[in-house]
């Protein structure tokens, strides 16, 4: 089994997700339900998180990219868990946040071992579980 496929299987396990390997890219298929409350309406939607890694190198590092949709009230818990993970963020880590009144889109990008990126992402998503039971 190739290093890419082995890594993909481990990432799938860490994120409790499915993976699809195409060429040098691994797409992670993980769904998340969001319940959006506005002044007059409530929406419940199932979203697929956009997570991938590509160009796995011999040293085990790859370009990891994730686009995570959050409710505004979830952002502090997610970012706290993300940044306080036991493995420090790599120096080349990039983060960008786009917001509107009802949803936040967090773009995350780093060059590191995909298993480390997936474990950090899993911990950050697990930090949201207590908030999900409240909504």
Residue 107's Cβ-count burial label (10 Å; 0-12, 13-18, 19+) is: middle
Q: What is the average pLDDT score of the chain?
A: 91
Q: Specify the CATH number for the domain of residue 104.
A: 3.90.1150
Domain residues for the domain of 127 are 3-134
Q: What is the pLDDT of residues 35-75, one digit of tens each?
A: 887 778 888 889 889 999 999 999 999 999 999 999 999 99
* DSSP H or E segment with residue 12: helix 3-15
Structural domains counted in the chain: 1
- CA 106 from centroid of its chain's CA atoms: 9
For residue 16, give both structure tokens. Answer: 């409790």
**Residues 46, 43: Cα–Cα separation, whole Å:** 10
pTM of the predicted model as reported, rounded to 2 decimal places: 0.90
Do the Cβ atoms of 82 and 90 come closer than 8 Å?
no
């Amino acid at each position: 089994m190739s290093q890419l496929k082995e890594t993909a299987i481990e990432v799938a396990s860490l994120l409790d997700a499915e993976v699809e390997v195409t060429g040098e890219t691994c797409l992670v298929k993980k769904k998340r339900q969001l319940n959006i409350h506005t002044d007059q309406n409530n929406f419940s939607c199932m979203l697929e998180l956009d997570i991938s890694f590509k160009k796995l190198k011999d040293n085990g590092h790859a370009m990891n990219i994730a686009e995570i949709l959050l409710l505004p009230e979830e952002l502090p818990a997610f970012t706290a868990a993300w940044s306080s993970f036991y493995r420090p963020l790599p120096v080349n880590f990039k983060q960008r946040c786009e917001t509107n009144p009802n949803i936040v889109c967090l773009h995350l990008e780093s060059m590191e071992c995909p298993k480390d990126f997936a474990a950090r992402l899993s911990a950050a998503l697990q930090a949201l579980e207590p908030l999900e039971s409240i909504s």
